[in-house]
A and B are shown apart, each in its own frame.
Chain A
Amino acid sequence: MGLMRYAWRNLWRNKRRTGITLAAVTLNTAILIMAYALMDGMIKHSVQNATNVVLGEAQIHAEGYREDHSFYKSLPDPEIILKKATEHRIGAAPRSYGYGLVSVGAKSAGALFWGIDPAVERAVFDLADNIQFGRFLSDKPEQGIVLGKKLARSLHASIGDEIIVVVQAADGSLGNELYTIFGILKTVGDNIDRGAAILHQDDFRELFVSKGRIHEVALNTRGEMPIMELAALMATAAEGTQVKTWRELMPLLSDMVNIFDSVMLIFYAIFVLAAGLGVMNTMLMATYDRMREFGILKAIGTSPWRIIGNMAVEAFVLAVTAAAFGLVIGLAGGYYFQEVGIDTRIFAAGDFSFSGVAFDPIWRAVLGVKVVAIPVVVMCVICTIASLYPAVLAARINPVRAIHHV
């Protein structure tokens, strides 16, 4: 502890010099925290954008369903899965799928019917917010349908039109029904745009004589739970099911996020390097400044190791102090960016999308333990290392030359 006190006293012998170094480290730590938080925010939010609409962070299907989408390969015990998800406060939306034909006026097209629970979809996902015209389905069945954008366009359909649907029901019979078009979705994804016809699950059950078959449970915690943990937890929910995370469901998106992650890491490395070099420069200057002092220390018989030790401790104490300040400023800034964000529209107008993921024009940071801890540790290490080089020089110096060093 005496070493620390000694270092602390030593540091404040030259207030200006130490102040400059302190400011440099503080500022760099704060910048690193904010930059890291912003980068993490961009990745996290782009993933959330991708998963929150309909995909979910993970999905559960019956074994083999994903291979051929057979109507008969439905989940064996959907209730158990939904119950378990609810117990763990995981948002879980049950969905049924079936193919068929839709027709408006003289136009007709093939469609994939979705049987959903509108109340649950509204609570867990954002599909209901992505309505371009009309409205989403109500919580109670009312013979309404919501169509994908391109499908609606190809049918020349508009809100309020009656739509005829014809399907092959589960018992082999011909299911057919009239519905009213309640809503048309925004662009949300090519498959949905081109072919989704969304029904209330009760209407779906009647149309397909599906006896309540559920083909998919989409899980979403909106980032509350790490996806691996989520997948592991739900994998044991019911027999004969398979859980796939969004990374497995959408490998393209996953790859994109990985690439994005790497790009961000490179950026971050450059940031750290720049900050590190700045700090190192300040530390070096501060040490060269003290060459005479070292000369005198050596002249009165201080061992080289002791000089290196003292220098390293001084640098470390300085760095920790600065990092603490930087942490406060970084947290404040990061919090601001998390709550308010940066409006990217001041740089570029219009929607900004990348590989199919549209980014929110408001760029928000996400603060996390990792985001805060890594910059702090990195700065402390860099400062200590930066002080070692001049310290070694100082330790090996000829006292006479050092004393004359100006």
Chain B
Amino acid sequence: MKQGTVRFGPVFLNLDFRTLKGIKSAACFCVCLLSFLCFGSMVLAQTAGLAPKEILDRVDDLMRGDSSHGKMTMTITTAHWTRSLRIEAWSKGKDKSLMRILAPKKEKGTATLRSGNNIWNFLPKVKRIIKLPSSMMASSWMGSHFTNDDLVKESRMADDYDFKATFEGVKSGREVLEITCIPKEEAVVVWGKVVLTVGKDNYLPLKIEYYDEDLELARTMTFEDVGLLGGRTLPRRFITVPADKPQESTVITYEEMAFNLELDDKLFSIRSLQR
């Protein structure tokens, strides 16, 4: 009759999901995923010499809008595998979005619904919906270099950061403007510093560098392939590279986008998630 048990487990298996993919928890302003969810109305500034605040607002608004609908490909490269997901996405307002995977076959029909700070996933294989627990916010979305947190955070750079233009001139053969943002004391953001580089001619973002609390570079997003998308001129390829794994990346390529459509709220419901 064994009565004694040990209140011990393998201590070395510390269940910390933050280490899951080595991704720094991202409280970014949704440049990343929301970018392909909520493309904002972007009126190209033909006026010269915008103030940093206006530039930040523009970049923020680039990613925001009343509503959007589009298709994109997300290509994830890690040390161990590479895969591409084709995604269809809808967004409405600041806090509603729905993503559905179209390909590959194994994931086809898998959908993510975000409403406010909640995330639900629909899994067609088991025909079940699961709500994402808050403990999983820092883990990766579909294996990408974005976290679930990136999906739901919605801060405005101009509100949460103190900023100033730190460079103006030519870099890599382009006239650029660099704005360095330091989070305000009370702001709920995880970055220690964000450095934004925009083109001087169109004020479209070229590069955003995210630094962690120790002011070490955590990840870099670059914006490429400026062209027409949903009737606007925008970068159509977003590349995210984690600083600690430079050979890894997540590339989002936009295929089609439509902005400011009439989207029913019902679309962003658990019921529609299962369709």
Contacts and interface: CB of A to CB of B under 8 A. Distances in A.
Contact of B5 (A166, A173, A186, A196): A186
Given A101-B130, A178-B126, A168 B7 contact: no
A193 B78 contact: no
Interface stretch (B11-19, B36-44, B166-174, B225-233): B11-19
Interface residues of A, number: 59
B11 A249 contact: yes
A172 B76 contact: yes
A25 B47 CA distance: 105
Contact of B7 (A101, A173, A357, A360): A357
A249 B7 contact: no
Contact of A191 (B15, B121, B139): B15
Given A173-B107, A189-B8, A101 B13 contact: no
A194 B15 contact: yes
A359 B130 CA distance: 41
B107 A192 contact: no
A55 B15 contact: no
Nearest to A168: B143
B135 interface: yes
Interface string B64-90: 000000000000101111110000000
B126 A164 contact: yes
Interface string B108-150: 0010000000000101011010111101100110110000000
Interface string B1-41: 01111111111111101011100000000000000000000
- Give the one of B4, B19, B121 with max A CB within 10 A: B4
A130 B104 CA distance: 42
A139 interface: no
Nearest to B121: A166
Contacts of B8: 50, 53, 55, 188-190, 250, 253, 356-357
Contacts of A360: 2-4
Contact of B81 (A106, A107, A171, A252): A171
A99 interface: yes
Contacts of B110: 174
Contacts of B135: 109-110
A174 B11 contact: no
B130 A108 contact: yes
Given A110-B139, A168-B143, A191-B11, A361 B3 contact: yes
Contact of A49 (B5, B125, B131): B5
Contacts of B83: 171-173
Contacts of B82: 172
B15 A195 contact: yes
A72 B81 CA distance: 11
Given A68-B19, A99-B20, A172-B80, A190 B9 contact: yes
Interface string B87-115: 00000000000000000101100100000
A177 interface: yes
A400 interface: no
Nearest to B124: A176
Contacts of A361: 3-4
A238 to B, nearest CB: 20
Contact of A50 (B6, B12, B125, B128): B6
Contact of B12 (A110, A170, A249, A362): A249
Given A172-B78, A174-B106, A174-B110, A101 B6 contact: no
Sorted nearest first, the 8 A-B pairs with minimum C-beta distance are A189-B9, A360-B4, A191-B9, A192-B9, A103-B130, A172-B81, A189-B8, A195-B15
Interface of B: 2-15, 17, 19-21, 76, 78-83, 104, 106-107, 110, 121, 123, 125-126, 128, 130-133, 135-136, 139-140, 142-143
23 contacts: A50-B8, A52-B6, A54-B9, A54-B10, A72-B79, A99-B15, A101-B133, A103-B128, A108-B133, A164-B123, A164-B130, A168-B21, A170-B80, A172-B81, A174-B110, A178-B128, A187-B5, A188-B5, A189-B9, A250-B8, A356-B7, A357-B8, A360-B3
Interface of A: 45, 49-50, 52-55, 66, 68-69, 72, 97, 99, 101, 103, 106-112, 126, 129-130, 164, 166, 168, 170-174, 176-178, 186-196, 249-250, 252-253, 353, 356-362
